[in-house]
Amino acid sequence: MGVETEALRWFQLVADGLTVTEVAETYAVSQPGVSRALARLEEDVGTPLLRRSGRVLRLTQAGATFKRHVDAFVNNLDDGLAAVEQLLDPGSGLVTLGFPLSLGTWFVPGLIRDFGRIRPQVRFALQRTAVGEPGAPSRLLLTREVELELTTARISHPDIEWRRVAVEPLLLCVPLDHPVADADAVELAAVAAEPFIMRRRPSGMREQVVDLCNAAGFSPVVAYEVDDLPTVRGFVGAGLGVAVVPALGRDVPVVLGPVRFLPLLDPGAQRDIGLACLTERRLLPAADSFRRFVVGGGANLTSASSV
């Protein structure tokens, strides 16, 4: 069997939704060349892997089965190539890192900056993880698209090692004219009668806020559900409710535009920041160095409390 590695990569891209034309443009080759390579791949495998549906190609049942093995093979091949590259130049390398949007505004940039002071030649390929079920690993980590994932909740999964690296306070966000806006700190019970702005499900942040309110003796009345923290802040600033939000590295209490952030005195008003990796996957040198940096106290350089 004379399967071409390039054909496998093109098959991956087409299977993931790119058109043959887009693949050809990405690799600066002709469209007929890509089509011929995919046809040779099907001939080598011995069955159709793709079927046409309008302008795009869809996986056949055999193609879906084959792709899982292609993904594993190409990922292992790329790991091998990267390992050799890092062996030849130990100070360099690439770290593939996933993280949620809320950590991308403060925590991740600080870690990469400070890690770069000791390993300036290491590069990062960054991917934002999608919001999923609380406590579940991202698809990016499970499919090996990233080696490491920073999370804002503890992950429980048999194939994943998760280490807490920092603790981030949760704050009460209120409009500037709110009765508690001038307080140094506040308990959630002080806003029990207020409407709340909440993240839309699924959201670990939402679940934690509900749990904190219940522990304070009330069930929050959800006035609006939104998709991200900037929108939460905007709705609070417009006087449409109050919200519990992560500190995002802010010194508190602090005023930001039309809102004020106040420390919460309620027990458990914090969230874990952790680092996750697959237990079955041996990290490449650059990724392992970054993991040891973060777990060993690199998070001290952020505004969150390290553990």
Same domain for 251 and 295? yes
* CATH code: domain of residue 294: 3.40.190.290
Classify residue 283 by its DSSP letter. P
Average per-residue pLDDT in the chain?
86
Q: Domain boundary at 86, 114, 143, which?
A: 86
Instruction: Give how many domains the chain has, as a whole number.
Output: 2
What pLDDT sits at residue 4? Answer: 81
* CATH code: domain of residue 15: 1.10.10.10
Same domain for 76 and 97? no
Does the reported pTM lie above 0.85? no
Alpha helices in 46-147 (DSSP H): 61-88, 101-104, 107-116, 139-142
Same domain for 81 and 131? no
Q: Domain boundary at 86, 102, 132, which?
A: 86
Same domain for 220 and 122? yes
Tokens of 288: 């392992």
Same domain for 75 and 97? no
Same domain for 99 and 78? no
Same domain for 234 and 105? yes
What pLDDT sits at residue 138? Answer: 78
Same domain for 201 and 145? yes
pLDDT mean over 264-281:
91
Residue 65 has pLDDT above 60, yes or no: yes
Residue range of the domain that includes 46:
5-86
pLDDT digits (tens, 9 = 90+) for 3-14: 688 888 888 888
Q: Domain boundary at 42, 68, 86, which?
A: 86
pLDDT digits (tens, 9 = 90+) for 122-151: 889 999 887 666 667 778 888 788 899 999
Same domain for 265 and 160? yes
Same domain for 133 and 28? no
Same domain for 148 and 258? yes
Residue 24 has pLDDT above 80, yes or no: yes
